[in-house]
Amino acid sequence: MQFFIDTADVGEIRDLAATGLVDGITTNPSLVAKTGRPFLEVVQEICEIVPGPVSAEVTATDHPTMLAEGRKLAGLAPNVCVKVPLTPDGLKTCKALTDEGTQVNVTLCFSAAQAILAAKAGATYVSPFVGRLDDIGAVGMDLIGDIVEIYAAYPEIRTQVLVASVRGPQHVIEAAKLGADVATVPPAVLRAMFKHPLTDKGLDGFLADWAKTGQTILSDEDGHGEPARRSA
């Protein structure tokens, strides 16, 4: 499974990209607005940090303007993935951009029927929103299972299932078990995936035992610490 980070915070992106765990980025107008910076400037900077797909969303709702916006976004960097809504005009735009060789992420998917249409339109990614479905009493992961099953039945479908609106590590685990291609997660969720109390407890124990030896691995010659003791 690939991990995308759902943010427009350049500082967070730089920090998390250094882990080697970040395969791409998803943004939307709301996330970019939080930065207080020009939209196109932010997208371009993110594309320079992360070599993988960077989803940048159009803001128009009619096909001609969406297409013009999509072409402009695609011209910012070769790794831009234009994000369009799952509407009739959005799918028209998806088809046109896909035919031009541009990656497209079809967003705001809430049903398997919609996901079928996105695949037919040639979407690179379809983004089902699991958290928002959970919020209204549905089970978001049921939708992921349905889409993965349907797509698997048709080898000609190349659209990848990108799980969005992820609320916690459990969503990521469930999506991975179902065979989703990508999970896009807020930075806080990715950081939470590192955490386990037994990891912290074990590390504390190792460090306490090491401190008792009075040794260091790095010496003054390394620019840090005291010389390591040598065995007799």
Are residues 117 and 181 both part of a single domain? yes
Residue 77: predicted pLDDT: 98
CATH number for 39:
3.20.20.70
Are residues 103 and 142 both part of a single domain? yes
83 given a catalytic annotation? yes
Catalytic residue among 83, 92, 120, 201: 83
**pTM for this prediction:** 0.91
Are residues 206 and 158 both part of a single domain? no
Are residues 139 and 177 both part of a single domain? yes
Are residues 167 and 228 both part of a single domain? no
Residue 221: predicted pLDDT: 80
* Residues with pLDDT less than 70, the chain: 224-232
* Total count of domains within the chain: 2
Are residues 129 and 33 both part of a single domain? yes
Are residues 24 and 66 both part of a single domain? yes
Are residues 135 and 228 both part of a single domain? no
Are residues 215 and 188 both part of a single domain? no
Assign residue 223 a region: left if phi > 0, alpha if psi is -120 to 50, beta otherwise? Answer: left
Range of the structural domain that residue 210 is part of? 199-232
Residue 122: predicted pLDDT: 98
